[in-house]
């Protein structure tokens, strides 16, 4: 059965996924994870939850991380410039 799903996904170039649906699925998986005792099962469910989450929020996560990294780099450059000015 999973091969059928993979084959269908490969045939479709693009499937639009609603963020509400992703939020619901992730919420259900997170609730399920809380009640699981097996660390192995928990690990697989956490991976599934993360994979599903990033179907919709992947671009946002990367752009937010990039924005934070860029602002930290800018702050470091500004501090270096100030130190050079004070030394001169």
Q: Where are the domains of the chain?
A: 2-87
d(CA 88, CA 10): 62
Nearest-CA neighbor of 50 among 25, 74, 32?
A: 25
Per-residue pLDDT at 16: 86
Cβ distance 74 to 55 under 8 Å? no
Is the pLDDT assigned to residue 68 strictly greater than 50?
A: no
| 16-60 pLDDT tens trace | 889 999 999 999 999 999 999 999 999 999 999 999 999 899 765
Q: Looking up tokens 């091969």, which residue turns up? A: 3
């Amino acid at each position: 059965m999973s091969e059928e799903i993979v084959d269908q996904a490969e045939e479709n170039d693009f499937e639009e996924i609603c963020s509400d649906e992703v939020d619901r699925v992730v919420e259900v998986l997170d609730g399920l994870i809380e009640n699981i005792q097996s660390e192995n099962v928990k690990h697989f469910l956490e991976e599934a939850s993360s994979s599903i989450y990033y179907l919709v929020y992947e671009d946002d996560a990367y752009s937010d991380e990039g924005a934070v990294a860029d602002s930290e780099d800018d702050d470091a450059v500004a501090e270096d410039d100030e130190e050079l000015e004070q030394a001169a």
